[in-house]
Amino acid sequence: MAANPMTQFEVYRIGPEIKIGSFDISFTNASLFMVVSSLAILIIFNLGSKKNSMLPNKIQLLAELSYTFVSKMISDTAGSKAKPYFAFIFSLFMFVLFCNMFGMIPYTFTVTSHIIVTFVLAAFIFIGVTIIGFIKHGFGYLKLFVPSGVPVVLLPLIVVIEIISYLSRPISLSVRLFANMMAGHTMMKVFGGFVISLGIVGGWLPLSFSVALTGLEILVAFLQAYVFAILTCIYLNDALNLHH
Amino acid sequence: MIKKYFFQLIFFNLFFYKEVFAAESGGMPQLNPEFWISQIFWLTLTFGILYIVLSKLILPKISANLELRKSQIQENIEAAEKQRKDSDLKLKEFEEIILKSKSEAKNIFKETREKALKDIGFKRETLEKQIDEEIKKAEKEINELKKTAPEKINKIAIETSSEILKNLVGTEINNSSISAIVNDFSKKNGNKYYDN
């Protein structure tokens, strides 16, 4: 049972079954780690913003560095018009990052390794960005699908490709995060299993792989959160500053 | 030999593992829709609360903290700049004062020197005047003495010679004739005695 590398992704109920109508909204291990991640973010950033000393302590420095990091990321990719969406992108980045990072602790559950979670996030971003685009530019937002400087002959093809690429944004965004997290955690589990099965004689090689993979996965956990946030910024940039 | 055994072990284990996975895996748990609604619900709830608390309470505070620090640093820099300028000004003033006082000291020195010199000159003059006067007075007295001396000497000579003659001759001799002889003599040889 424990040898199956996919069992770590199983969702199970914690506590009683809660239902609204016919919908099952029971508190699960996934919910637990969503709550834990959110709480951790809130606690850290609350502590980091509590008192303002001229010389910040470690936690304040952490909060302020994260703030400036995300702030710079947004202004670099989406410009100054994206300022109102700063809080959303900040929460998004932090939420994904903390969920990824909590998943790196053994015996925990990785919220972002579930396609439904990442897809809901990505779909929300997609719909939100599309609405913002239409509000800002009206039907002129459709010009996004018509790149300038393209020969008229190729135009129908290009427009179709652009529309498909635009519509596939939520899928690519969600699948990228989900697949990365799932693949990494599965790999780690597989190599961990090798360590046990090969025993004291042959277990050292997969053990060293496991150690290296852990480092890699921590990197991936950060990188995927960053990519998720920066792609959101880029989509937002398309909606705010129509370039085509 | 050991190497071969090692790789055999790995290979067989892999084989064994595949068997195990095949037996147990029922596909990906992610694609099991049993808890999808629950996950969507809890995601919306937690992320929503996270977003609201961050955007309404925490992020404005961090932003305010950063702004405050920035402005404080700016203020401090400005204050430091101002103080630097002030100290520069003070330094200039100080240098000016030193220069001024130096020249003043020079002036005072010069003045006192001149005064002292003047004083000395004046004193010397008065002294010289006094000395001159004294000398003149002395000369006058000498002259007077010179003038009166021959007469007195003549008188003495007349009286002594009349006395001598009285004692020698025993009779009174007319003073006028003696004085005539003495005056005549003194006129003839006076220069030899008085250095006139």
* Nearest-neighbour CA in chain B from A91: distance (Å): 6
- Residues of B with Cβ-Cβ distance to A48 under 8 angstroms: 62
- pLDDT on residue B22: 43
Q: Which residue has the higher pLDDT, A45 or A244?
A: A45
Q: Is the pLDDT of residue B9 over 60?
A: no
The whole domain housing B179 covers 58-194
Q: Is residue B8 part of a domain?
A: no
Q: Is residue A92 part of a domain?
A: yes
Q: Is residue B3 part of a domain?
A: no
Nearest residue, CB atoms, A42 vs list B31, B50, B62? B50
pLDDT digits (tens, 9 = 90+) for A176-203: 999 999 999 999 988 888 888 888 888 8
- Look at chain A and report how many structural domains it folds into: 1
Q: Is the pLDDT of residue B18 over 60?
A: no
> In whole angstroms, how far apart are CA B71 and each of B68, B97, B98?
5, 38, 40
Q: Is residue A19 part of a domain?
A: yes
pLDDT tier at B94, thresholds 50, 70, 90: very high
- pLDDT on residue A216: 94
| Stretch 13-52 of chain A: residues touching chain B, C-beta under 8 Å | 13, 23-28, 30-31, 34-35, 37-38, 41-42, 45-46, 48-49, 52
- What are the φ/ψ torsions at residue B133 (nearest 5 degrees)? -60, -45
Contact (CB, 8 A) for A116 and B30: yes
Q: Is the pLDDT of residue B123 over 50?
A: yes
**Rounded (to 5) percent helix, strand, coil in chain B:** 95, 0, 5
The pTM (predicted TM-score) of the whole model is 0.71
- Residues of B with Cβ-Cβ distance to A111 under 8 angstroms: 43
Q: Is the pLDDT of residue B194 over 60?
A: no
* Nearest-neighbour CA in chain B from A163: distance (Å): 27
| Stretch 58-77 of chain A: residues touching chain B, C-beta under 8 Å | 60, 63-64, 67-68
- pLDDT on residue A201: 84
Q: Is residue A130 part of a domain?
A: yes
Most A-contacting residue of B14, B17, B18, B30 (CB-CB within 10 A), to test interface: B30
Residue of B nearest to A86 (CA): B55
Q: Is the pLDDT of residue B10 over 80?
A: no
Contact (CB, 8 A) for A95 and A110: no
Q: Tell me the average pLDDT across A90-117.
A: 93
Q: Is residue B107 part of a domain?
A: yes
What number of other Cβ atoms are within 10 A of residue A187's Cβ?
16
The average confidence (pLDDT) of chain A is: 90
Q: Which of A93, A118, A89, A234 is nearest to A176 (CA)?
A: A118
Nearest residue, CB atoms, A49 vs list B40, B51, B58? B58
> In whole angstroms, how far apart are CA B11 and each of A65, A191, B7, B159?
48, 14, 6, 178
- pLDDT on residue B1: 59
CA dist B186 and B135 (Å) reads: 29
Q: Which residue has the higher pLDDT, B8 or A90?
A: A90
Q: Is residue B132 part of a domain?
A: yes
Q: Is the pLDDT of residue B19 over 50?
A: no
Q: Is residue A17 part of a domain?
A: yes
Q: Is residue A2 part of a domain?
A: no
Reduced to 3 states (helix: H, G, I; strand: E, B; else coil), residue B93 is helix
pLDDT tier at A13, thresholds 50, 70, 90: confident
Contact (CB, 8 A) for A73 and A141: no
- Residues of A with Cβ-Cβ distance to B34 under 8 angstroms: 11, 24
Angle at A8 between CA A232 and CA B9, to 5 degrees: 120
- pLDDT on residue B8: 60
- Residues of A with Cβ-Cβ distance to B51 under 8 angstroms: 87-88, 91
The whole domain housing A135 covers 7-240
* Nearest-neighbour CA in chain B from A150: distance (Å): 41
Q: Is A200 an 8 Å CB contact of chain B?
A: no
- pLDDT on residue A40: 95
Q: Is residue A182 part of a domain?
A: yes
- Look at chain B and report how many structural domains it folds into: 1
Q: Do B34 and A116 touch (CB under 8 A)?
A: no
* Nearest-neighbour CA in chain A from B58: distance (Å): 6
- pLDDT on residue A193: 87
> In whole angstroms, how far apart are CA A226 and each of A131, A173, B95?
24, 12, 61
Q: Tell me the average pLDDT across A57-83.
A: 91
Q: Is the pLDDT of residue B56 over 60?
A: yes
- pLDDT on residue B164: 84
pLDDT digits (tens, 9 = 90+) for B155-191: 888 888 888 888 887 777 777 777 787 777 777 776 6
HSE of B164, CA atoms in CB hemisphere, 13 A? 7
* Nearest-neighbour CA in chain A from B6: distance (Å): 6
Residue of A nearest to B2 (CA): A201
pLDDT tier at B21, thresholds 50, 70, 90: very low
Q: Is the pLDDT of residue A99 over 60?
A: yes
Q: What is the ipTM of this complex?
A: 0.90
CA dist A58 and A139 (Å) reads: 48
- pLDDT on residue B31: 82
Q: Tell me the average pLDDT across B35-42.
A: 90
The average confidence (pLDDT) of chain B is: 82
Q: Is residue A122 part of a domain?
A: yes
* Nearest-neighbour CA in chain B from A24: distance (Å): 6
Q: Is A205 an 8 Å CB contact of chain B?
A: yes
Q: Do A90 and B54 touch (CB under 8 A)?
A: yes
| Stretch 77-116 of chain A: residues touching chain B, C-beta under 8 Å | 86-88, 90-91, 94-95, 111, 113-116
Of the ranges A165-179, B7-21, B75-89, which one carries the lowest mean pLDDT score?
Answer: B7-21
- What are the φ/ψ torsions at residue A23 (nearest 5 degrees)? -90, 135
Most A-contacting residue of B28, B43, B66 (CB-CB within 10 A), to test interface: B43
Q: Is residue B158 part of a domain?
A: yes
Q: Do A35 and B65 touch (CB under 8 A)?
A: no
Task: Give the percent of chain A with pLDDT over 70.
Answer: 98
Q: Is residue A1 part of a domain?
A: no
Nearest residue, CB atoms, B28 vs list A6, A52, A111? A6
Q: Which residue has the higher pLDDT, B145 or B83?
A: B83
Q: Which of A229, A183, A225, A233 is nearest to A77 (CA)?
A: A233
- pLDDT on residue B24: 45
